[in-house]
Chain A
């Protein structure tokens, strides 16, 4: 809402008194630097196609910088390209390449410090150290940008979209690959991450810390080094996202560490080593998610409590749930488990026997990971069977008392 108002304001100023400057390498104004210097607040600068090597562009006025047919801004592996501070600045339609790199400074394609109402839209980033870096900014929109990097190791590269101490951001429809973290949030509140595609990043598709009252909706996190991490946060809504193909020895679909009062709803978790790993989290609500073909669908540490798993579908997972303790203070109810072997005599659609989603062998593997080599052997089958008859090691209280007989019909 606020962002739209800002955009309207920009539009109105543009109509009334704004001037448009054209940067063209064959005409009067050949450099963007010069145009920025000439322009006054409220003006528009249109940049014609071409290769611009102008080092660091500092924008402090309220300007609309618009590329035509993606003019290329080259940082020559030395400079930050845009450094922005101020209100209602628009940057769109550029191709930003080859920023410098730094181990101490976060050199970026676009760095915004203390901005308000910033719009970054339809840009292409290639080989930038950080893509878009926001600090102490608010009410900004980052939309439909494409960010590509191809580093070989984590320390060689920064994050795609990095936000620190921000408020009311809207990050929408971006496509981010090859960075350290696709999207990085630290101390960011009241923000919205929507319909982004974060894939093939070295560490996390989304890295999220100390960021309360946020939502991320309908994003796809695919094949990132360690999946998505959400930590030290309360009140996050994670809805209708896809967590897919996060494979590797310390890889998760979704890592939840110290999360409270959050909702995880309608997501698809498919083909992850561990689709949800929960540590020290409380009062989270998991509903209508689908867990499909994961190694572990849910790994819940014993220090989690008052979480609710309801009406989820567990399909073709190697282990449905695993935990490391015997005391379980979470509620699991009305889920569909394809491993359930009970019956429904009264035909109410609810299995008459409770389902214990934690198998003995999942606990053995938890303690001794290399014992996975015996998975699906006759020995393991016998162990699991005998444990089902006389539970002695697996937590008796972790059970679904109302396993539904028919799979929920969730579509993705």
Chain B
């Protein structure tokens, strides 16, 4: 039975006089692969920042795992994994040292073993002891993915996860998303790639003008695609 992992109610956020989010409601359950689409400036990244606690809403509420996301919320943060287009890695440290560092912050048991297993999964085991500054963009993104799921989070948030990934890395990312979601991990992903996103999604939404204008599950992808093209200005 799926449980509600993330619930956002009437989220509003402005920067100066520019109201970026105008009352967004969103609910994601365990095992969901929720993909969020929208044009540039729709407020997708702002929404993700509010949902992960990186930013505070002007009004509205975010609840994660049934608890309000307020204050330091250490127990909640321990259950979230986040990968943005920046992989949050230290260039002067090796791949292994980066994972070990974040493993310490997240208090991951058997850090060394878990790090090695993940490095193998993302195809970077042979480069474990190389400095991240020497990695390509795609390699950094794969290592960033390993960092994001190192502590086996219950909710993984992916902001433009396909950026810089080659075909092999994309396949690795998609395999990991399917495997983890089958075990109950919820995913929230932002991407511009409609075809790739709908291929992976079990639910999807379109954010436009600071509002969630459409939500659908896989039974309604045709209508969803048409509406997306309308929103993006490419429709009939």
Partners in one complex: no
Report A's interface with B, CB cutoff 8 A.
none
On B, residues with C-beta under 8 Å from A are none
